[in-house]
C-alpha cells in the first residue's frame, strides 16, 4: 500500500475497502491538481484583463527519432479525438438534441482588442490597480523555508528550500503579483502595514483585512491617514454586502439589482467554463474612524455575554464598494477521469462534496466523469429550490433540466438516529463512572436468565434495519443552502441518484451527508484535509485524510493519501478487493483438502495407535503439523495473485 502512496493505519481497514459503495470526495487538491492560476481580472460589466502567460524557453532542435515519436503520438491523439467526437455525435443523435452548448469562452479576453496594455504597470484603470493591490495585501501567502520529511528519512538529511506557503487561492494571487505583474509584494506590504485581519473560514467564505495606506504627504496627521478595509471571498456572498461599484472610468456608482444580476451572470459564465471565481470589495476609513470602530466593538464585546448575529471582529458587514473578480483555473488531475470510471465499473458511486459554486463544481464534475454524458447530458440533471407557491407557502420545487417535475412541502426528519441511542448509553455510563448516577443492577436470577437466553437467542441491537435504495439514472446538483430544508423524502430522492454533486457545502453539512448515506445502508468513504473535516472523517466507514492536510484530520482519518490523489483511493480499493479474493481462494482450496487430510491422518494414526494411544496430545500435534506441511504451505502461493481489475 505504501508503494501506491497510501498509508494505512490498521490492516482491518483493508477489509472495508472491499465493501465501499460511495466515495464522498473533495474537489480542490483531490480531483484537481491544486495548482491554481489566475487567468483573468474582471471589473465593471465588460472590463477584462487577460493575464499574460510566462514566456517559455526556446525549444532545442529535436532529433529524427523524437520527430517520428511526436508525429506518431499526434496521429494516435487525432484518431482518439475523432473516435470520441463520433461517439458524442451518436449520443446527440440518439437523444434528438443537436444544439447542445459547447464549451466556449464567454467573454472577450483579447487585451489589444479591449485597448488594455499587456503590461500591468501600464494599465491606468483604477479598478484594476485596486484589484492588484488587494491581491498583494489581503493575502496570507508568504515565502518561508520549508523542510519536507519523508517516512523513514533521517532528519539530518532533510534539505530546506524557499517556498510559498499559504492557501492555494492566496498562492495563486501571490504568483499573479510577483511572476505575472512584477510587483514587489514585500515592499508593498511594508509600505501598507496590516492592522487587523479576519481569516477565511468555511462558514463565512470570505476574508477581511485592514491596512494603513502609505501617503506621500508627511504633513498629514496620523488620525487622518487612510485605512483600507478589503473583503475577498465567494462572489455570491461578497456582492450582497456591496452598495456601490467602481466603473471602468474610475467613477463610483450605486449597485442596484440590475447590476448585481449582471455580475452574477458573469460569475455563472465563468463557472460554466470550469473557472473558480473570487470577488473583491473595499471600504476606506480615516485612522480615527477605524480606531473608533474597533473601540466600539471592544466595548460591545465587554458588555455582551453572548454574541448576537455574525462576529466580524469589528469589521463592517455591509456598504462595501465592489471592485472586481479574479478567475482561477485549477485543472483536473489527468489520472482522475479513468479512476472515476473504474469506480463506476466496480458499482461504487463517486459524490463530489465541495465548497465551490455549483456551476464550477458541475463543470469540473463533467471533466472528471462524475457527471457523464450517458446520464447527465442525455437523461438530465436534477435540482431543487425552496420557493413560495401561489398561496405564499414555502415549497421545494423539484426541477429536471430546468423544468418543474414535482412540488414537495418540506417536513421534519422523522428518521431516528441509532447513533443517538448509543450516545445516550455512553453518557449514562460516563455518569455512573463519575459517581453522578447509581447503577441499576438487576437481581442475580435475572442476570442468570439473561445469560442463558442469550446463548440460544440473537441479542437485540439498536441499529435500525435498513435496505439499499434503488438508484435512478439521473444526475443531481445540490447547493449547500438547500440542504437545511431537506427532510427524509428529499434525502431519499437526492441520494437515489446515480451521479451526485454537492456544492457550497460546509463541514457540518458534509457530516450530515455522510450520516444520511450511512442511514441508507451505504458504506461510505470520505476525504478531507481540514480541521473541520475531522467529524466527517471519524463518522465515515473509511476516513481518507490528505498528506497536505492538518494534523487533526490525519489523526481522525483511517488512511492517509501521501500524494493527495483521488486515483490512489481506487488503487487502495483494488488492493483490498484483491486481498479479499485471494483469501477466498485459499479458503476454497483448504476446505476440501483439510477434510481429506483429517481422514487420511486418521487412517495413518490407526497403525500407530498402539504407540500414540497413551498420549492424545501427540496425535493432535501430528495431525496439525501434517496438515501444515502438506496443504497450507502450497496454498500460500494463492495469496500472491496480483491481478484484479475494477
**Which tens digits make up the pLDDT trace of 215-249?**
888 888 988 999 999 999 999 999 999 999 999 98
Higher pLDDT, residue 55 or 423? 55
DSSP reduced 3-state for 382: strand
Higher pLDDT, residue 72 or 564? 564
| pLDDT of 99 strictly over 90 | no
| pLDDT of 109 strictly over 80 | no
Give the model confidence (pLDDT) of 488-539 as tens digits.
899 999 999 999 999 999 888 999 999 999 988 899 999 988 888 888 898 8
| pLDDT of 67 strictly over 80 | no
**CA–CA distance, 371 with 361 (Å, rounded to integer):** 10
| Mean pLDDT of the region 612-628 | 60
Give the model confidence (pLDDT) of 240-257 as tens digits.
999 999 999 889 999 999
| Mean pLDDT of the region 270-292 | 94
| pLDDT of 204 strictly over 50 | yes
Give the model confidence (pLDDT) of 169-201 as tens digits.
999 999 999 998 999 999 999 999 999 999 998
Which pTM was predicted?
Answer: 0.77
Which pLDDT value is given to residue 514? 92
The distance in angstroms from the start CA to the end CA of the chain is 17
Which pLDDT value is given to residue 139? 94
In the chain, where does the domain assigned CATH 3.40.1110.10 lie? 120-329
Q: Which of 75-84, 415-424, 532-541 has the lowest mean pLDDT?
A: 415-424
| pLDDT of 413 strictly over 70 | no
Give the model confidence (pLDDT) of 10-61 as tens digits.
777 777 777 889 999 998 888 998 889 999 999 998 889 999 876 545 556 6
Going from the C-alpha of 505 to that of each of 29, 357, 414, the distances in angstroms are 16, 9, 23
Which pLDDT value is given to residue 584? 80
Task: Please report which helix (H) or strand (E) contains residue 212, including its range.
Answer: strand 206-212
**CATH classification (class only), 2-35+334-415+466-574:** alpha beta
Q: For 157-171, what is the HEC assignment?
A: HCCEEEEEECCHHHH
Which pLDDT value is given to residue 369? 93
Q: Are 494 and 486 in contact (CB under 8 A)?
A: yes
Task: Please report which helix (H) or strand (E) contains residue 400, including its range.
Answer: strand 394-400
Which pLDDT value is given to residue 318? 92
The β-bridge partners of 27 are none
Going from the C-alpha of 46 to that of each of 49, 132, 324, 599, the distances in angstroms are 10, 18, 11, 88
Q: Are 324 and 278 in contact (CB under 8 A)?
A: no
What Rg value do the Cα atoms of the chain yield, rounded? Answer: 31
Which pLDDT value is given to residue 463? 46
**CA–CA distance, 426 with 419 (Å, rounded to integer):** 10
Pairing of strands 22-25, 524-528: parallel
Q: How confident is the model at residue 642 (pLDDT cuts 50, 70, 90)?
A: low
Q: Which of 12-16, 552-556, 589-593 has the lowest mean pLDDT?
A: 589-593
Give the model confidence (pLDDT) of 120-129 as tens digits.
888 889 999 9
At what angle are helices 507-519 and 488-495 packed, to 10 degrees? Answer: 80
Nearest C-alpha neighbor of 540 from the set 513, 520, 514, 509: 514
Higher pLDDT, residue 294 or 449? 294
Q: 55-64, 471-480, 539-548, 552-561 — which one is most confidently predicted on average? A: 471-480
Which pLDDT value is given to residue 307? 59
In the chain, where does the domain assigned CATH 3.40.50.1000 lie? 2-35+334-415+466-574
**CA–CA distance, 216 with 220 (Å, rounded to integer):** 9
| Mean pLDDT of the region 434-452 | 74
Q: How confident is the model at residue 105 (pLDDT cuts 50, 70, 90)?
A: very low
DSSP reduced 3-state for 155: helix
Mean of the per-residue pLDDT values for the chain? Answer: 80
Which pLDDT value is given to residue 106? 44
Higher pLDDT, residue 258 or 1? 258
Pairing of strands 559-561, 542-546: parallel
Topology (CATH level 3) of domain 120-329 = Calcium-transporting ATPase, cytoplasmic domain N (3.40.1110)
Amino acid at each position: 500500500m505504501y508503494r501506491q502512496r497510501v498509508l494505512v493505519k490498521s490492516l482491518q481497514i483493508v477489509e472495508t475497502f472491499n465493501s465501499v459503495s460511495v466515495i464522498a470526495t473533495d474537489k480542490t487538491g483531490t480531483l484537481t491538481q491544486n495548482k491554481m492560476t489566475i487567468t483573468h481580472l474582471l471589473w465593471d460589466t465588460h472590463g477584462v484583463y487577460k493575464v499574460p502567460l510566462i514566456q517559455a524557453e526556446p525549444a532545442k532542435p529535436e532529433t529524427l527519432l523524437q520527430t517520428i515519436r511526436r508525429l506518431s503520438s499526434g496521429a494516435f491523439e487525432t484518431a482518439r479525438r475523432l473516435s470520441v467526437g463520433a461517439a458524442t455525435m451518436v449520443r446527440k443523435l440518439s437523444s434528438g438534441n443537436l444544439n447542445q452548448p459547447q464549451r466556449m469562452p464567454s467573454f472577450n479576453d483579447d487585451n489589444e482588442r479591449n485597448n488594455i496594455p499587456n503590461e500591468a504597470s501600464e494599465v491606468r484603470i483604477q479598478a484594476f490597480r485596486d484589484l492588484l493591490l488587494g491581491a498583494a495585501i489581503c493575502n496570507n501567502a508568504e515565502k518561508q523555508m520549508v523542510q519536507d520529511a519523508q517516512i523513514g528519512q533521517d532528519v539530518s538529511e532533510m534539505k530546506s528550500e524557499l517556498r510559498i506557503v499559504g492557501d492555494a487561492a492566496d498562492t495563486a494571487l501571490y504568483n499573479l503579483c510577483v511572476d505575472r505583474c512584477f510587483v514587489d509584494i514585500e515592499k508593498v506590504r511594508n509600505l501598507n502595514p496590516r492592522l487587523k485581519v479576519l481569516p477565511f473560514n468555511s462558514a463565512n467564505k470570505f476574508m477581511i483585512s485592514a491596512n494603513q495606506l502609505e501617503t506621500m504627504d508627511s504633513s498629514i496627521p496620523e488620525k487622518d491617514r487612510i485605512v483600507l478595509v478589503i473583503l475577498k471571498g465567494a462572489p455570491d456572498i461578497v456582492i450582497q454586502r456591496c452598495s456601490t461599484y467602481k466603473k471602468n472610468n474610475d467613477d463610483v456608482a450605486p449597485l442596484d439589482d440590475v447590476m448585481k444580476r449582471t455580475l452574477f451572470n458573469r460569475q455563472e459564465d465563468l463557472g460554466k467554463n470550469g473557472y473558480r471565481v473570487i470577488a473583491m470589495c473595499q471600504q476606506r476609513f480615516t485612522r480615527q474612524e477605524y480606531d473608533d470602530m474597533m473601540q466600539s466593538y471592544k466595548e460591545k464585546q465587554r458588555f455582551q455575554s453572548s454574541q448576537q448575529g455574525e462576529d466580524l471582529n469589528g469589521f463592517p458587514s455591509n456598504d462595501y464598494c465592489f471592485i472586481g473578480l479574479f478567475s482561477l483555473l485549477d485543472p483536473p488531475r489527468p489520472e482522475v477521469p479513468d479512476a472515476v470510471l473504474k469506480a463506476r465499473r466496480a458499482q461504487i458511486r463517486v459524490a463530489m462534496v465541495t465548497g465551490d459554486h455549483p456551476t464550477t463544481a458541475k463543470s469540473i464534475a463533467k471533466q472528471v466523469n462524475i457527471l457523464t454524458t450517458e446520464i447527465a447530458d442525455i437523461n438530465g440533471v436534477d435540482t431543487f429550490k425552496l420557493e413560495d407557491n401561489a398561496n405564499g407557502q414555502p415549497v421545494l420545487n423539484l426541477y429536471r433540466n430546468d423544468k418543474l417535475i414535482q412540488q414537495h412541502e418540506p417536513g421534519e426528519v422523522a428518521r431516528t438516529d441509532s447513533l443517538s441511542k448509543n450516545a445516550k448509553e455512553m453518557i449514562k455510563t460516563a455518569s455512573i463512572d463519575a459517581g453522578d448516577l447509581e447503577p441499576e443492577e438487576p437481581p442475580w436470577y435475572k442476570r442468570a436468565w439473561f445469560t442463558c437466553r442469550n446463548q440460544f437467542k440473537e441479542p437485540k441491537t439498536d441499529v435500525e434495519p435498513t435496505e439499499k435504495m434503488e438508484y435512478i439514472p439521473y444526475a443531481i446538483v445540490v447547493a449547500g443552502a438547500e440542504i437545511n430544508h431537506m427532510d427524509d423524502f428529499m434525502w431519499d430522492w437526492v441520494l437515489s441518484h446515480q451521479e451526485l454533486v454537492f456544492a457550497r457545502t460546509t463541514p457540518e453539512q458534509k457530516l450530515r451527508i455522510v450520516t444520511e448515506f450511512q442511514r441508507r445502508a451505504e458504506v461510505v468513504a470520505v476525504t478531507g484535509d481540514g480541521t473541520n473535516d475531522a467529524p466527517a472523517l471519524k463518522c465515515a466507514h473509511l476516513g481518507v485524510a490528505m498528506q497536505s492536510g492538518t494534523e487533526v484530520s490525519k489523526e481522525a482519518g483511517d488512511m492517509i493519501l501521501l500524494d493527495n490523489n483521488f486515483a490512489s483511493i481506487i488503487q487502495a480499493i483494488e488492493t483490498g478487493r484483491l486481498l479479499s479474493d485471494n483469501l477466498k481462494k485459499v479458503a476454497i482450496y483448504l476446505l476440501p483438502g483439510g477434510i481429506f487430510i483429517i481422514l487420511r491422518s486418521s487412517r495413518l494414526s490407526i497403525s500407530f495407535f498402539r504407540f500414540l494411544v497413551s498420549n492424545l496430545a501427540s496425535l493432535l500435534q501430528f495431525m496439525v503439523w501434517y496438515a501444515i506441511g502438506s496443504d497450507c504451505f502450497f496454498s500460500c502461493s494463492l495469496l500472491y495473485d496480483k491481478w484484479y481489475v475494477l
